[in-house]
Amino acid sequence: MLMSSQADRYAHQFLEARASAQTLAPISSHSELSIADAYDIAKSLDNIRIAEGEIPVGRKLGFTNRTLWPKYGEKEAIHAPIWTTLFDTTVRYLDDTHVNQSLAGAVQPRVEPEVVFKLGRTPAIDASLDELADCLEWMAHGLEIVVSPYPDWKFEAADAIAALGLHGTLLIGEPRMLSSASRHHLGDMLANASVSLSCDGSLLGAGFGSNVLDSPLHAIWHLHQLLKTQPQFSPLRAGEVITTGTWTDAYPVSPGQTWFTAFSGITLAGLSVSFA
């Protein structure tokens, strides 16, 4: 178990590495680091960022795509989702379906197509899956730029949590308001939907909503349950934005590339992003 001073020290190291676009050796490569320890570091990161004026706006889920679990983790394959706090400084709402996005300062950036939700109401602590769905105000297509301070993207699950959840920037497309009827069928609708991901005209990946813990709605449910075991963090509440994890693998991106997404099975517009 980490002492609070140790958690604070690691938190400052990660923030300094991000600010200077530097890589770090994973903590697990030289010290014991449990999942609980990593969330203590995450809590320290939250405290520091809030003290410096950043505003928490929601949560980012990672490793919700079960098809990717065997690809990540050096000593042990990752086998469960992780999460981190989203702050206003790394969330961008898009005005158009085509945008330009700088990769300046992004260390080993990769892109992930996701579905993002906003909570219109605070879910009850014992809310059922259907009751949780009823709390959603809108959903939108999101592209998350994920980053890794660890060379060659090699780390354990706890390292990923400690490194700000590997979050870089979240781009959010036009929100689609959810009706009562659409919320009722949301889980199945998302599970059966698919997305394609292309770069400069070449298809690189495709995935289904069912890859994300059977449905992105289930990913929110997982987070709601997990937070019950983490009293140091606040439970989900109205106004939060939640990005639920990638439908495809995460693909490396470089300046000069233009990436495109397209959905089938749900009425969300695809996005195109030119990186600089």
pLDDT digits (tens, 9 = 90+) for 142-158: 999 999 999 999 999 99
Element (H, E) at 199: strand 194-199
Per-residue pLDDT at 196:
98
CB crowding 37-69: b at 16 or more within 10 Å, else e: bbbbbbbbbbeebeeeeeeebbbbbbbbbbebb
- For range 94-105, the mean pLDDT: 96
Q: Please report, for residues 41, 81, 124, 223, the alpha-carbon distance to residue 226 in angstroms, rounded to integers and kept in the order given.
A: 17, 10, 14, 5
Phi-psi group of 160: left, alpha or beta (phi > 0 → left; psi -120 to 50 → alpha; rest → beta): alpha
Residue 214 CA, distance from chain mean position: 17
Residue 27 in 3-state DSSP? helix
pLDDT over 90, % of the chain: 96
Q: Span 149-173, mean pLDDT?
A: 97
Task: Please check the confidence at residue 3 and state whether its pLDDT lies above 90.
Answer: no
Mean pLDDT of 181-201: 95
Burial of 201 (0-12, 13-18, 19+ CB in 10 A): exposed
Is a pLDDT exceeding 80 seen at residue 190?
Answer: yes
Using 50, 70 and 90 to split pLDDT, how confident is the model at 2?
confident
Beta strand 272-275 pairing with 98-101? parallel
Check whether 218 has a pLDDT greater than 90. Answer: yes
Instruction: Specify the pLDDT at position 4.
Output: 82
Residue pLDDT, tens place only, 7-49:
999 999 999 999 999 999 999 999 999 999 999 999 999 999 9
The letter for the amino acid at 35 is I
Asked if the model's pLDDT at residue 1 lies above 90, the reply is no
Mean pLDDT of 52-56: 98
Mean pLDDT across 128-136: 96
**Average confidence score pLDDT of the chain:** 96
Domain 4-275 class in CATH: alpha beta
pLDDT at 255: 98
Strands 110-119 and 136-146: antiparallel
What is the C-alpha radius of gyration for the chain, rounded to an integer number of angstroms? 18
Can you tell me whether residue 248 is helix, strand or coil?
coil
What's the CA gap between 205 and 140, in Å, rounded?
Answer: 20
